[in-house]
């Protein structure tokens, strides 16, 4: 197989091209990532991506971290707790109102096993989809006697 540097020389000639050098460097990094091995942890890990402020990249971080771990053959379950369901959308999990979602799990009507969907792009990645119904959950929880426990 031709190296990235050889490919660039073939395309751009012997003269050094800043664009060619950048493409060669990116290609070299990409190939290194493809060959990388991600060690599996000895035990299950729970990673929460949370911040009270909106627009800070919570969904982007959660989706990309989940996809990367799944690509390295780690079993991943992403639980989308945002009523907008953008993580569910990004990972191809249906989440329209009335469809089984994390809200049904919170309410005790369904189990995670019944609600989770496998991501069509990563067979090692399951998603518990959100739904707009989650927006009402806060009001319901606010009325519970032991809500702060």
Whole-angstrom Cα distance, residue 90 to residue 102? Answer: 16
Q: What is the DSSP string of 63-117?
A: HHHHHHHHHTT--EEEE---TT-HHHHHTT----TTS--HHHHHTTSS-HHHH-E
pLDDT of residue 98: 84
Distance CA 110, CA 105 (A): 5
Phi, psi of 5 (to 5 degrees): -65, -45
Whether residue 128 contacts residue 115, with contact meaning beta carbons closer than 8 Å, is answered with yes
The pTM of this model reads 0.73
Q: Supply the DSSP symbol for 18.
A: H
> Residue 98's CB: how many other CB atoms inside 10 A?
8
Compute the average pLDDT of residues 84-104: 92
pLDDT in tens, 8-43: 667 766 656 777 778 878 888 888 877 887 788 889
CB 81 within 8 A of CB 50: no
Report pLDDT digits (tens) over 95-112.
Answer: 888 899 999 999 899 999
**Confidence at residue 37, expressed as pLDDT on a 0 to 100 scale:** 79
């Amino acid at each position: 197989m031709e190296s990235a540097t050889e490919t660039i020389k073939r395309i751009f000639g012997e003269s050094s091209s800043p664009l060619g050098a950048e493409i060669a460097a990116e290609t070299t990094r990409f190939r290194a990532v493809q060959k990388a091995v991600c060690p599996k942890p000895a035990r299950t890990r729970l990673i929460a991506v949370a911040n009270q402020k909106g627009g800070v990249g919570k969904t982007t971080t959660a989706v990309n971290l989940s996809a990367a771990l799944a690509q390295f053959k780690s079993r991943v379950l992403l639980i989308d707790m945002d009523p907008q369901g953008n993580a569910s959308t990004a990972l191809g999990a249906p989440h329209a109102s009335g469809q089984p979602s994390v809200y049904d799990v919170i309410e005790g009507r369904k189990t995670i096993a019944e609600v989770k969907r496998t991501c069509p792009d990563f067979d090692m990645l399951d998603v518990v989809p959100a739904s707009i119904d989650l927006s009402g959950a806060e009001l319901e929880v606010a009325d519970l006697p032991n809500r702060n426990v």
